[in-house]
Structure 1
Amino acid sequence: MTHASDDVSQAIAGELSLMDPAVRASRARFEPLLDPEFVEVGSSGRRYTYEEMLAWLPDHPGGSAGGPRYEPDDIAGVVLAPGLVHLTYETRFDGLRARRSSLWRRQSAEGGWRMYYHQGTPVPPDVD
């Protein structure tokens, strides 16, 4: 049995991996990190499903080694239930800030952690 802090650490590692340009550019590397029932509400307000994200992510900003990168800050997590972790943090990307929330779940003790839900909310420039 894993400890709660191990579960949070593994979810954070997955979250950071999804911000890595090398992972974002490779379907083979990011697909195992997304739950088949994945849904995202992006900072644009657009809703993305698992299939849409698989098709869209390699061409999405942040997937180029020489381009802007997501810069996460203050990542915190809490275990909501066995196999379910909630992460919150803020990112800076190309001069823009967003507050983010993700749910990570593990279907079995042998399975890996996968992002089940993600939401990004833009932070206006005048907000601390």
Structure 2
Amino acid sequence: MKHESDDVNEAVAGELRLMDPNVRASRSLARELLDPEFVEVGASGRRWTYEQMLAALPDMAGGFEEGPHYQPSDITGVVLAPGLVHLTYETMIDGRRARRSSLWRKRSDGTGWRMYYHQGTLVSPEAE
């Protein structure tokens, strides 16, 4: 029997994989983790679609072994409905802090958990 915490753990594992420089640098690996209907509202305010993200991800922050990497903290998750998990957490990269929120859904086609929606919000020093 599968427990809700198993679903949250699978979503967290996917989230952490998407922060891995090797995954970010590989469109084929990233494609395995992003839902075909993926949308992101980035910390910059830009809206990203699935195809736009796959095209840009290898050149974005955190995509290089020798560069800065995402440092996640305080990851928590909750099952909103069967096959739908909401994660919240914070990241630091290159001195920039952001609060993040992701929705992960389990695909009915057997391809597993995929990130369906992501939003990042920069935290200004004044917000402390």
Normalised TM-score (structure 1): 0.96
**Which structure 1 residue ranges, 4+ long, deviate > 3 Å from structure 2?**
none
Alpha-carbon distance in 1 for matches of 2:2, 2:36: 23
Paired position in structure 2 for 1:122: 122
Mapping of residues 33-48 of structure 1, within 5 Å: 33-48=33-48
Corresponding residue SS for 1:36: strand
Paired position in structure 1 for 2:82: 82
Corresponding residue SS for 2:126: coil
Normalised TM-score (structure 2): 0.96
Paired position in structure 1 for 2:58: 58
Specify the code of the residue in structure 2 equivalent to 1:78: V
Alpha-carbon distance in 1 for matches of 2:40, 2:99: 14
Specify the code of the residue in structure 1 equivalent to 2:32: P
Specify the code of the residue in structure 1 equivalent to 2:103: L
Paired position in structure 2 for 1:28: 28
May I ask how many residue pairs the two structures share in their alignment?
A: 128
Q: CA RMSD in A?
A: 1.1
5+ long unaligned stretches in structure 2: none
Alpha-carbon distance in 1 for matches of 2:75, 2:3: 18
Question: Given the superposition, is the C-alpha separation of residues 59 and 11 from structure 1 closer, same or farther in structure 2, using an over 3 Å criterion?
Answer: same
Q: CA deviation at 1:109?
A: 8.0
Alpha-carbon distance in 1 for matches of 2:34, 2:24: 12
Paired position in structure 2 for 1:93: 93
Q: What is the identity percentage for the equivalent residue pairs of Structure 1 and Structure 2? A: 70
Corresponding residue SS for 1:68: coil
